Amino acid sequence: MDAYVCVAVPGRLNVEDMEEFYRGLREMAREHGVNILGGDTTRSNGPLVINVALTGCAPKEQVLLRSGAAPGDLLYVTGTLGDAGAGLDLLKRGGDWPGQWGDPLLRAHLDPRPHLLEGLFLAQHGFATSMMDLSDGLASDLRHICKRSQVGAIVREDAIPISGQLRRYAEWFGLEPLALALGSGEDYCLLLTVPPQRAKEMEEAFLERFGRPIRPIGEITQEPEILLGTGDGNLMPLPMGGWDSFASESP
């Protein structure tokens, strides 16, 4: 895979900042076998602008789209949700929270780890019918899969994986952890759909490979509604949330 990086640099930015940016970029590229081949560098009269384009190839049978989900498929995520959103919230508050609690949330926002190895593993073993990364938030990204696959979904509230750090943070500042998990985005784990007959095999293989469970959070339905199953057994429309790149304002 090859990467082309284009940057527009404002005059106020010093050379050390750009060197640090490229140092991090090189580390991530080496970890995942990506070649940084070039790109345009120019001056910006406004903010710092960074554009990264990636090119690569994959076997056709391993390419997973958003359009493959079918009624009866189970919904899974490959990590906890909402930590990055809490990290951003903490930064906006000035970072004033006990460091031993806040550090994992700050790392989730400032140094996210994309689940590329997990995605390759799931694709190579043919477990998933559709898959995408959770960059815009579960409430937003699930709608992309449902729209492209022409299906609906039920997300089980009590099944959404929320870390202990996020629960402590939400309690400390009077926030709702479910709202952060559904709508904050930038988690960069994966959302995928899996036929029920392959679910157990996938769960066991994923646990053996990565040393942590993959989490079932709901199922795909024939009806087009996207619903949240609450702890008391009721169904309600899944709250809108997350980032919409084409909206005039983010939700």
Q: What is the pLDDT of residues 171-203, one digit of tens each?
A: 999 999 999 999 988 999 999 999 999 999 999
Question: Would you list the domain boundaries of the chain?
Answer: 2-55, 60-237
pLDDT at residue 245, rounded to an integer: 52
Task: Assess contact for 224 and 233: CB atoms under 8 A.
Answer: no
pLDDT at residue 248, rounded to an integer: 41
Domain 60-237 has CATH 3.90.650.10: yes
Please give the structure tokens belonging to residue 37.
């081949």
Model pTM? 0.89
Range 121-141 average pLDDT: 95
Q: Kindly tell me if the per-residue pLDDT of 149 is higher than 70.
A: yes
Third-level CATH fold of 2-55 = 60s Ribosomal Protein L30; Chain: A; (3.30.1330)
Q: Kindly tell me if the per-residue pLDDT of 74 is higher than 90.
A: yes
pLDDT at residue 250, rounded to an integer: 45
Pairing type for strands 190-194 and 226-229 reads: unpaired
